[in-house]
């Protein structure tokens, strides 16, 4: 941070000493237009603090009068049942981790059939199997689907198993037959149009042109959207750079919260304009001002390099990079395809063979289809974020070398599951290695203890961290000696309320964004053994300087689709 920036808080305090307290923040800066035509909701300019965390002013405020005024406004109840189950719900289902000012209600005076189906889904021990049976019923009758599955337009659930079923099975075309619909996700109002196949495709936003994949807590509808019941703290966190939020009180237009910046908790009054939030007043002490500025500055630096890393992760998912396991396998042959692919690629070929099966060198869009094992995904994503990758079809065959090259092809030991641990141990200047004690290794099959652990240890698992899990796998043959297997992935995003890791990015069979419960279904006996954190200074040194990183902070999208359109990451 430059000397001029460091002096800003001191200058503000000098003015305060001269003219007295009681200064309110000016929330008049409107959001810039969103990429791809998405907009903040509603259409009127949103007075959100669109602050680059490196430039965020931290000034003295006497907010007692503003805080007291909020206490005179009618309080909204929030969602106490969801709050109690939130960690497990987010463990199970992909969600935009919003906060609700009250619980969305099911449609009143619905048909007897709709009420019977709602009761069935809320009381059954297996909502996924029941909802799968009803799939064709709702597809043929979208109005019935809305009455059963939506609560005031929200895809909402407080039961983890139902939340998983809704996200995994419910499609927008089961709920609507209109030509156009909107999806209110966080503070953005996105629009979608029905294509020739009957599926909805985004018309704007970061997923423009992709099929609509619904997240938990999305709001879906047609016509003029009614006032929102949710508030978007993920977008506010991207703008302000806080770590965590505690909601103290909600009213129709305000939220009284505490925001954590490092070790500092700052009581803050937020103005809500529908789902979007902006700061009206924050109670910052003189002693804390510079520390908060430093936290915001570091947050801005980190988000810029994470934007490049997440972009590389999204490219790997979009390309559909195949897992390095032959279609026909004799014994254990994982990891054998990558070198065969490289030989064919450098020789100018468009396909290669292994065990008499043929594999393409490029995908349908001409992007290299480089086979990966799980640890390759980690190294490949870091390399790709630095500008290192193979050229596409139509360009001279070869690999562009950017800021980092782990040389995994030349050194096959780098492709072992434990190689990232070995590398971090040898390079403490680049990575921070954290080995969990045996008592901390919670098996994934224990959902509530795992969720509680992730919340209690939230600061140990941050966006951009590499997590290594280990345990017995259900696909091992029962007549063979049991072997504990490793798997690795990135923490992609975290919840601003609980702090827990929200989405994971890896290649467990194909590259995707996944929840913890996805991994629990695959390998319930595994647990977390290691966390490896790339150091910020190292990431800044390798990330390509011309990385397409937005200047103004924005939360990363929570879904990524395969470019070829045959599958979706969700």
The string of DSSP codes covering 303-358 is HHHHHHHHHHHHHHHHHTPPBS--SS-SSS-TT-HHHHHHHHHHTT-SEEEETTEE
Residues 173, 404: Cα–Cα separation, whole Å = 44
Residues 120, 114: Cα–Cα separation, whole Å = 10
Name the pLDDT band for 550 (thresholds 50, 70, 90).
low
Mean predicted confidence (pLDDT) in 15-19: 32
Residues 267, 277: Cα–Cα separation, whole Å = 15
Helix%, strand%, coil% for the chain, nearest 5: 35, 20, 45
Closest by CA position to 501, among listed 480, 517, 525: 517
Residues 266, 328: Cα–Cα separation, whole Å = 58
The two tokens of residue 51 are: 């602050």
Which stretch of 49-58, 82-91, 375-384 has the lowest confidence by average pLDDT? Answer: 49-58
Residue with the two structure tokens 């098996």: 443
Whether the pLDDT of residue 220 is over 50: the answer is yes
Residue count of the chain: 570
Name the pLDDT band for 549 (thresholds 50, 70, 90).
low
Q: Report the percentage of the chain scoring pLDDT > 70.
A: 86
- In this predicted structure, what is the pLDDT of residue 156? 98
Residues 183, 213: Cα–Cα separation, whole Å = 10
Cα Rg, the chain, nearest whole Å: 25
**Bridge partner list, 362:** 368
- In this predicted structure, what is the pLDDT of residue 551? 56
Going 365 to 368 to 373 to 374, the CA torsion angle's sign is negative
Q: Where are the alpha helices (DSSP H) in 391-525?
A: 419-426, 447-456, 516-522
- In this predicted structure, what is the pLDDT of residue 248? 97
Whether the pLDDT of residue 346 is over 70: the answer is yes
Mean predicted confidence (pLDDT) in 247-253: 96
- In this predicted structure, what is the pLDDT of residue 21? 34
Name the pLDDT band for 126 (thresholds 50, 70, 90).
very high
Which stretch of 11-25, 125-139, 453-467, 528-542 has the lowest confidence by average pLDDT? Answer: 11-25
Mean predicted confidence (pLDDT) in 49-62: 50
- In this predicted structure, what is the pLDDT of residue 562? 72
Whether the pLDDT of residue 387 is over 90: the answer is yes
Whether the pLDDT of residue 7 is over 60: the answer is no
Mean predicted confidence (pLDDT) in 430-438: 98
Evaluate whether 246 touches 258 at the Cβ level (below 8 Å): yes
Whether the pLDDT of residue 105 is over 90: the answer is yes
Torsion of CA 302, 307, 308, 314, to 10 degrees: 140
CB within 8 Å of 565: residues ≥ 6 apart: 211
- In this predicted structure, what is the pLDDT of residue 70? 93
The two tokens of residue 287 are: 């002693």
Query: What pairing do the DSSP bridges indicate for beta strands 264-273 and 254-261?
Result: antiparallel
Q: What is the phi-psi region of residue 302: left when phi exceeds 0, alpha when psi lies from -120 to 50, beta otherwise?
A: alpha
| Helices H / strands E in the chain, number of each | 15, 21
Name the pLDDT band for 239 (thresholds 50, 70, 90).
very high
Mean predicted confidence (pLDDT) in 172-196: 96
Counting Cβ atoms within 10 Å, is residue 526 exposed (0-12), middle (13-18) or buried (19+)? buried
Evaluate whether 41 touches 98 at the Cβ level (below 8 Å): no
Residues 90, 451: Cα–Cα separation, whole Å = 9
Helices 127-140 and 160-169 pack at an angle, to 10 degrees, of: 40
- In this predicted structure, what is the pLDDT of residue 417? 85
Q: Report the percentage of the chain scoring pLDDT > 90.
A: 78
Evaluate whether 46 touches 40 at the Cβ level (below 8 Å): yes
- In this predicted structure, what is the pLDDT of residue 96? 97
Residues 261, 294: Cα–Cα separation, whole Å = 9
Residues 545, 561: Cα–Cα separation, whole Å = 26
Per-residue pLDDT tens over the stretch 68-88: 999 999 999 999 999 999 999
189 versus 554: which is more confidently predicted? 189
Give the predicted TM-score (pTM) of the model. 0.87
Residues 223, 221: Cα–Cα separation, whole Å = 7
Whether the pLDDT of residue 24 is over 50: the answer is no
Residue with the two structure tokens 């889904």: 121
Question: Using alpha carbons only, what angle is made at residue 85 by residues 170 and 100, rounded to the nearest 5 degrees?
Answer: 70
Q: Write phi, then psi, for 361 (nearest 5 degrees).
A: -80, -30
Residues 421, 488: Cα–Cα separation, whole Å = 10
- In this predicted structure, what is the pLDDT of residue 118? 94
Query: What pairing do the DSSP bridges indicate for beta strands 527-534 and 512-514?
Result: unpaired
Mean predicted confidence (pLDDT) in 54-76: 76
C-alpha distances (whole Å) from 399 to each of 349, 384, 390, 407 are 15, 11, 4, 11
Helices 3-19 and 286-319 pack at an angle, to 10 degrees, of: 140
Residues 158, 230: Cα–Cα separation, whole Å = 15
Whether the pLDDT of residue 414 is over 70: the answer is yes
250 versus 480: which is more confidently predicted? 250
Which stretch of 107-121, 192-206, 300-314 has the lowest confidence by average pLDDT? Answer: 107-121
Q: Is residue 245 helix, strand or coil?
A: strand
Whether the pLDDT of residue 62 is over 70: the answer is yes
Q: From the centroid of its chain, how far is CA 564?
A: 22
Mean predicted confidence (pLDDT) in 475-489: 84
Which stretch of 39-48, 446-455, 510-519 has the lowest confidence by average pLDDT? Answer: 39-48
Q: What is the average pLDDT score of the chain?
A: 87
Whether the pLDDT of residue 38 is over 60: the answer is no
- In this predicted structure, what is the pLDDT of residue 434? 98
Q: Write phi, then psi, for 48 (nearest 5 degrees).
A: -95, 145
């Amino acid at each position: 941070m430059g000397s001029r920036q460091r002096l800003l808080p001191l200058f503000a305090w000098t003015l305060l000493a001269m003219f007295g307290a009681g200064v309110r923040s000016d929330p008049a800066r409107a959001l810039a237009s969103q990429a791809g035509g998405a907009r903040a909701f509603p259409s009127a300019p949103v007075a959100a603090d669109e602050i680059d965390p490196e430039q965020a002013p931290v000034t003295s405020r006497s907010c007692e009068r503003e805080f007291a005024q909020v206490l005179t406004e009618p309080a909204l109840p929030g969602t106490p049942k969801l709050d109690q189950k939130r960690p497990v719900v987010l463990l199970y289902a992909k969600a935009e981790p919003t906060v609700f000012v009250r619980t969305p209600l099911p449609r009143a005076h619905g048909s007897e059939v709709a009420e019977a189906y709602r009761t069935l889904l809320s009381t059954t021990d297996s909502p996924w199997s029941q909802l799968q049976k009803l799939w064709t019923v709702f597809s043929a009758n979208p109005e019935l689907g809305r009455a059963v599955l939506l609560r005031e337009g929200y895809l909402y659930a407080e039961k983890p198993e139902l939340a998983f079923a809704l996200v995994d099975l419910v499609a927008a075309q089961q709920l609507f037959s209109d030509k156009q619909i909107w999806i209110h996700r966080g503070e953005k109002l996105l629009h979608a149009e029905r294509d020739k196949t009957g599926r909805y495709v985004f018309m704007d936003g970061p997923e423009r042109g992709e099929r609509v994949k619904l997240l938990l807590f999305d709001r879906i509808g047609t016509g003029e959207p009614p006032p929102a019941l949710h508030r978007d703290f993920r977008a506010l966190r991207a703008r302000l750079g806080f770590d965590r939020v505690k909601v103290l009180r909600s009213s129709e237009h305000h939220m009284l919260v505490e925001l954590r910046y490092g070790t500092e908790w700052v009581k803050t009054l937020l103005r809500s304009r529908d789902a979007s939030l902006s700061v009206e007043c924050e109670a910052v002490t003189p002693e804390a001002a510079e520390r908060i500025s430093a936290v915001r500055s570091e947050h801005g630096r980190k988000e810029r390099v994470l934007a490049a890393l997440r972009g590389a992760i999204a490219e790997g998912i979009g390309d559909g990079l195949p897992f390095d396991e032959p279609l026909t396998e004799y014994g254990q042959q994982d990891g054998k395809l990558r070198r065969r692919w490289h030989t064919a690629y450098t020789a100018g070929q468009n396909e290669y063979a292994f065990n008499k099966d043929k594999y393409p060198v490029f995908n349908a869009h001409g992007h290299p289809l480089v086979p990966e094992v799980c640890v390759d995904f980690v190294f490949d994503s870091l390399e790709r974020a630095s500008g290192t990758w193979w050229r596409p079809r139509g360009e001279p065959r070869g690999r562009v070398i950017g800021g980092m090259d782990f040389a995994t092809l030349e050194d096959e030991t780098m492709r072992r599951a434990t190689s990232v641990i070995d590398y971090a141990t040898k390079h403490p200047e680049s990575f921070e290695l954290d080995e969990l004690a045996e008592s901390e290794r919670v098996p994934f099959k224990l959902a509530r203890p795992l969720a509680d652990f992730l919340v209690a240890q939230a600061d140990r698992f941050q966006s951009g961290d590499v997590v290594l899990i280990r345990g017995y796998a259900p696909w091992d043959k029962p007549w063979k000696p049991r072997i504990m297997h490793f798997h690795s992935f990135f923490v992609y995003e975290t919840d601003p309320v609980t702090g827990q890791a929200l989405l994971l990015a890896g290649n467990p069979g194909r590259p995707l964004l996944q929840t913890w419960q996805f991994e629990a279904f695959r390998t319930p006996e595994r647990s977390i053994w290691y966390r490896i954190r790339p150091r910020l200074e190292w990431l800044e040194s390798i990330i390509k300087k011309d990385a397409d990183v937005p200047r103004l902070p924005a939360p990363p999208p929570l879904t990524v689709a395969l470019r070829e359109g045959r599958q979706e990451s969700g």
